[in-house]
Structure 1
């Protein structure tokens, strides 16, 4: 199994994330991310869909209300004290929603800061309906912003002790879970400097250039995952047990 970088406790990590996203660089990153995510979610039937949003900063991550019929905000218990927008408090690895119950899911800087990102993706796959859409937003590991993060790691900054997830790695995970990546857009083609203001106010480059500080990946669920979920394997073992099958026949008689 993969060994993931140890994260700071939520009491340390969440305030650090909020502080960074309030900085000139962080505010510019967030603005461009939301524009790209709104574009990825738009579509002719979007107004009839149910959208689930998972974000490390839910109180600041706002999307266009016209994108869907309803937006559902879920977050961890450590986030509830900082945010008033959560509809329910839960663990990202055990989301309290039924199988195939949502049309669209947005993961906003979640995979980078959870204990096991692949487990979260499996849980998200369970909830998305067939032909549903998944949008993932994260820091591009091949960008000037990621280089800035290397300096932050040396200083043990909580913001930069995140998992470095490449597009290819996420694409492999999604393929195993039955998703097909439709598009990848990039934002924040700038140097991650708060001053002078030119670095956060000049016109952004094309979203197709892969050197942007953040990426927004959109994928569609087309088939069942190649590896069955753990609870499905457990049920299969029970159904194949001879004693259980015999007991079932006796009850029916």
Structure 2
């Protein structure tokens, strides 16, 4: 079993995250992420009936309501103080929803800050309907923002005691779970420095350019239902090996 970096308790981690996203660097990151995720969800390849929005900062991150008919916010026990935003308080690896009941799931900086990201992905796969969409937003480990995180780890900053998850690793997990990656875009092609203001205010680069501080990955679930439909079973023909046709078995009674 994979061994992950130990996470701080929610009482320490979540306030640190919220404070960082309110600052000049975190605020710029969040603004660019909103734009990239809106684009990933607005291609209309998936019927936007019901969307599950999972974020470590639900009070700061929202999906445009025009992209779905209904949006659900679920969160862990550490977010209980923000229950007026959450539809249900639960653990991220035990979500209180039926199998294949949501069309789209958004994971906003969740995989980096949960105890076991692979377990959360398996739970999310259970909820998404076949041909449903999964959109993941995460810190790019090959970026100046990630280098800033290394310094934060040396200082034992709660914000930066997170998992470092590359796109290749996430793609491997998704492939095993029956997902196919459709697109990857990058944002925050900046140095994580708030002064002088030029570093936060210069024109954004193309989303297709790697090395951005964050990436947004969209994938589609292509796992077929395990039980075939009744009409398919009626039309199905069972082909037998020629050697089995007319084969008999002699049973001798002693």
TM class by shorter chain equals: 0.7 to 0.9
Shift in Å, 1:83 = 5.3
Secondary structure of residue in 2 paired with 1:81: helix
Counterpart in the other structure of 1:111: 111
Indicate if the aligned counterparts of 2:52 and 2:102 stay in contact, CA closer than 8 A: yes
More displaced stretch, 44-53 vs 72-81: 44-53
Gaps of 5+ in 1: 226-253
Counterpart in the other structure of 1:215: 215
Shift in Å, 1:80 = 2.0
Counterpart in the other structure of 1:143: 143
Counterpart in the other structure of 1:84: 84
Counterpart in the other structure of 1:53: 53
Counterpart in the other structure of 1:37: 37
Tell me the number of residue pairs that the alignment of Structure 1 and Structure 2 aligns: 226
Shift in Å, 1:30 = 0.3
Matches within 5 A, 1:9-24: 9-24=9-24
Shift in Å, 1:115 = 0.7
Q: Which runs of 4+ in 1 moved over 6 A?
A: none
Please give the alpha-carbon distance, in whole angstroms, between the structure 2 residues aligned to 1:121 and 1:41: 19
Indicate if the aligned counterparts of 1:46 and 1:67 stay in contact, CA closer than 8 A: no
Please give the alpha-carbon distance, in whole angstroms, between the structure 2 residues aligned to 1:47 and 1:3: 37
Secondary structure of residue in 2 paired with 1:43: coil
Please give the alpha-carbon distance, in whole angstroms, between the structure 1 residues aligned to 2:2 and 2:220: 25
Gaps of 5+ in 2: 226-254
Counterpart in the other structure of 1:163: 163
Please give the alpha-carbon distance, in whole angstroms, between the structure 2 residues aligned to 1:83 and 1:188: 30
TM-score relative to the length of structure 2: 0.86
CA distance 1:178–1:46, change in 2 (3 Å): closer
CA distance 1:206–1:23, change in 2 (3 Å): same
Please give the alpha-carbon distance, in whole angstroms, between the structure 1 residues aligned to 2:83 and 2:195: 29
Please give the alpha-carbon distance, in whole angstroms, between the structure 2 residues aligned to 1:8 and 1:80: 17
Please give the alpha-carbon distance, in whole angstroms, between the structure 1 residues aligned to 2:48 and 2:215: 26
Indicate if the aligned counterparts of 1:193 and 1:199 stay in contact, CA closer than 8 A: yes
Shift in Å, 1:69 = 0.4
The answer to whether the aligner puts 1:100 opposite 2:68 as a matched pair is no
Please give the alpha-carbon distance, in whole angstroms, between the structure 2 residues aligned to 1:38 and 1:49: 16
RMSD: 1.5
Indicate if the aligned counterparts of 2:4 and 2:116 stay in contact, CA closer than 8 A: yes
The answer to whether the aligner puts 1:174 opposite 2:174 as a matched pair is yes
Counterpart in the other structure of 1:126: 126
TM-score relative to the length of structure 1: 0.87
Shift in Å, 1:44 = 3.5
Indicate if the aligned counterparts of 1:47 and 1:69 stay in contact, CA closer than 8 A: no
Q: Which has the larger radius of gyration?
A: 2
Shift in Å, 1:48 = 4.2
Please give the alpha-carbon distance, in whole angstroms, between the structure 2 residues aligned to 1:49 and 1:84: 23
Secondary structure of residue in 1 paired with 2:206: coil
Secondary structure of residue in 1 paired with 2:193: coil
Shift in Å, 1:82 = 3.6
